[in-house]
Amino acid sequence: METELQGSFIQLRKALFQLNEKDTSLIFTAQALLRWHECHQFCGKSGQPTQKNVAGSKRICPSSNMIYYPQMSPVVITLVSDRTRCLLARQSSFPKGMYSALAGFCDVGETLEEAVRREVAEEVGLEVDSLQYSASQHWPFPNSSLMMACHATVGPGQTEIHVNSQELETAGWFSLEEVATALKRKGPPSNEQDGTIPFWLPPKAAIAHRLIWEWVQKQSSSSNLA
């Protein structure tokens, strides 16, 4: 196939740096549906094989008559700010040098606001003072999730970070100048002369990028007004 189409297969995460918004949405949907069908071939009630409909939008168990629809797990992704800096973190599974916003699954019975406050407290030991919803995005990694993006602020003098090493590799506060510079980098940067890697941010296809871009725009506007 690669020879016939004069192309090559690459990992989907790496492809995010090259795909446009329309293609990204289509591929995310396809990835999520393929993964869901692969993992739901048997009925949870009868244990018998399920069958998918022609459109591939659901699976049916002929034995129990149960109908299964693709589901998404709710996830909160939050960019924390102390009003002059924003907090970025990285997990050990991230590509080298990449930092992002905090993210975590919502627990059963939680509201969006409760999940944000809990995740921020659990991962970096900070108490959220206020929060604002931004936008949402379907995300197919590792399984289908609905990412709900928020901006959160912490109170003055409440900025000491306590990293949960079971959740994160590291986290820190970054200035407007540092983040604005990182936003201009297109994909993983090259090593510096001393061997270090400048920190970089998720691609535009990720909602984390949008959160960070919104924060930079707001901070830049405030600086201009001042």
Q: Which of 223, 75, 222, 82 is nearest to 152 (CA)?
A: 82
Residues 6+ apart with CB under 8 A from 22: none
Where do the H-state alpha helices sit in the chain? Answer: 2-5, 12-15, 21-39, 112-124, 176-183, 207-225
- Residue 152: enclosing H or E segment and its boundaries? strand 145-154
The total of structural domains in the chain comes to 2
Asked whether residue 64 falls in the same domain as residue 99, the answer is no
**What pLDDT is recorded for position 222?**
75
Q: What is the CATH number of the domain that holds 149?
A: 3.90.79.10
Note whether residue 4 is domain-resident. no
| pLDDT for res 155 | 87
Positions in the chain whose pLDDT score sits under 50: none
Instruction: Kindly state whether residue 135 falls inside one of the protein's structural domains.
Output: yes
Whether residues 154 and 97 share a domain: the answer is yes
Contacts of 178 (CB under 8 A, 6+ apart): 199
179 with 217, same domain: the answer is: yes
Q: Is the peptide bond before 142 cis (omega within 30 degrees of 0)?
A: yes
Residues 55 and 143 in one domain: no
Answer yes or no: do 90 and 52 share one domain.
Answer: no
- For 186-199, the pLDDT digits (tens) are 767 666 656 677 88
User: Are both 113 and 219 inside the same structural domain?
Assistant: yes
Whether residues 125 and 212 fall in one domain:
yes
> Do residue 59 and residue 106 come from a single domain?
no
Domain span at residue 109 reads: 73-186+199-224
Look up residue 211 and give its amino acid. Answer: L
Tell me if 192 is assigned to some domain.
no
CA atoms of 149 and 101, how far apart (whole Å): 9
Residue 195 confidence (pLDDT): 61
